[in-house]
Amino acid sequence: MLPILSAQETEKIKRRLMERANTDYSQQQKIVDEILQDIRENGNRALFSYIRKFDGFDVNEKNLLVTEAELEEAFRMVEPELLAIMREAAVNIEEFHKRQRRENWFIEQDGKYIGQLYIPVEYAGVYVPGGKAAYPSSVLMNIIPAKCAGVKNIFVATPAQGGKIDPVTVAAAKIAGAHRIYKMGGAQAIAAFAYGTESIPCMDKITGPGNIYVALAKKSVYGQAGIDMIAGPSEVLILADETANERFIAADFLSQAEHDELAACVLVTVSEQKAHEVRTEILRQAETLPKKEIVMKSLENYGTIIVADTIEQAVEAANHIAPEHLEICTGDPQALLPKIQNAGSIFLGEFAPEPLGDYFAGTNHVLPTNGTARFSSPLNVDDFQKKSSVIYYSREEFEKVYRKVQTFAKAEGLEAHARSAAIRFED
């Protein structure tokens, strides 16, 4: 457990982490395909029958939606302290995501302009899993970017066992700015969002985490609606030098490991002594964790310590692995920032542990996992809007260039394109 390896092993470690995503889900895919087709063809009738079957809830067109009374009841049931913290976190998240907005712009010259518009999607559907543990932080993280993008219809879907909603989930959704909450879950909820039913409009974008059925359904409906990334097993990489505090690092390591047996924790350090100290601390602290069993499996399978010769080599290893979370615990963490090429979220110094970003600081905790930080981004406002290009040319301006358009089109063998340019100046 927790082998201490050299930086030469980085590629092997990376491959091992990426293998976490290789599972054959063809059995589950078949079930999902049936549900999707059924709801696409039969709308509410099919949706309601799945809800009755899976959630034991005698649903109809009226009780499908969470009511104002249920909402008020939910707020009464949640601890006031937790409500206050969720509200404060929501403010921080909103402040960060507002900064991601962009203004329409135009490049204007004489009688012509080209430009770009940013238009929010009309309908965003946010999925919130049910089950034993509720993750209200994830509700905030999915809804607030949509709200900041200017989406007018943010609709939540969450399963309600026996028709009973989870009060914390519902309160978080309302705090974040959801406009409606549907009591539905699983692949059937994704199908209803993608295709619409008599009671539910088609969503343009569907986001949010879920079990494998939800993930497969999202993948399948892509094209019919936009989706966020499909979250894979998550990971943290901690970059540390000899100045780092081994107790803090060990605690952060373990906070990642408790998520999931597939969660991966990697320490990259330039100090062999620190490597050993952290290792000892991890094993010591793990002893008293309630989720010790999950933690130990994660550590056994994917917990890794790399000792690099130089800090440059350590950074290279981090960039190669492209972690979801990157903690930089070195004497001067800011100095390394310009060298970071691939990381979802970067935590600088000893007082910015991953949970600060998970819950409170304002950045998004929906992050690219499993090496996809090489090319993808945290969930953000851009995910809930699209760009449109605009072109305007006056007659005079187009007259100056239409022959070039014509020549280019002919060079590509597209005569009708050439004529479309030329016909404007034929009489």
Task: Just list the catalytic residues.
Answer: 324-325
Does residue 325 have a known ligand-binding role? yes
Does residue 277 have a known ligand-binding role? no
Give the list of residues 6+ apart from residue 411 with CB closer than 8 angstroms, or none. none
Does residue 38 have a known ligand-binding role? no
CB of 42 to its own copies, least distance (A): 17
User: How far apart are the C-alpha atoms of 93 and 111, rounded to whole Å?
Assistant: 42
CB of 205 to its own copies, least distance (A): 5
Q: What is the 3-state secondary structure (H, E, C) of the chain?
A: CCCEEEHHHHHHHHHHHHHHHCCCCHHHHHHHHHHHHHHHHHHHHHHHHHHHHHHCCCCCCCCCECCHHHHHHHHHHCCHHHHHHHHHHHHHHHHHHHCCCCCCEEEEECCEEEEEEEEECCEEEEECCCCCCCCHHHHHHHHHHHHHHCCCEEEEEECCHHHCCCHHHHHHHHHHCCCEEEECCHHHHHHHHHHCCCCCCCCCEEECCCCHHHHHHHHHHECCEEECCCCCCCEEEEEECCCCCHHHHHHHHHHHHCCCCCCEEEEEECCHHHHHHHHHHHHHHHCCCCCHHHHHHHHHHHCEEEECCCHHHHHHHHHHHCCCEEEEECCCHHHHHHHCCCCCEEEECCCCCHHHHHHCCCCCCCCCCCCHHHCCCCCCHHHHEEEEEEEEECHHHHHHHHHHHHHHHHHCCCHHHHHHHHHHHCC
Select 164 or 404, whichever has its Cβ closest to its own copies: 404
CB of 290 to its own copies, least distance (A): 5
Does residue 127 have a known ligand-binding role? yes
Does residue 188 have a known ligand-binding role? yes
CB of 108 to its own copies, least distance (A): 12
CB of 52 to its own copies, least distance (A): 29
CB of 329 to its own copies, least distance (A): 12
Select 307 or 333, whichever has its Cβ closest to its own copies: 333
Backbone φ and ψ for 294, nearest 5 degrees, come out as: -60, -45
Does residue 358 have a known ligand-binding role? yes
CB of 187 to its own copies, least distance (A): 20
Select 199 or 256, whichever has its Cβ closest to its own copies: 256
Which residue from 169, 214, 211, 208 is spatially nearest to 191, judged by alpha carbons? 214
Does residue 8 have a known ligand-binding role? no
Select 269 or 364, whichever has its Cβ closest to its own copies: 364
Select 43 or 357, whichever has its Cβ closest to its own copies: 357
User: How far apart are the C-alpha atoms of 208 and 129, rounded to whole Å?
Assistant: 8
Select 184 or 221, whichever has its Cβ closest to its own copies: 221
Select 137 or 188, whichever has its Cβ closest to its own copies: 137
Output the known binding site: 127, 188, 211, 234, 256, 259, 325, 358, 412, 417
Output the known binding site for Zn(2+): 256, 259, 358, 417
Output the known binding site for NAD(+): 127, 188, 211
Output the known binding site for substrate: 234, 256, 259, 325, 358, 412, 417
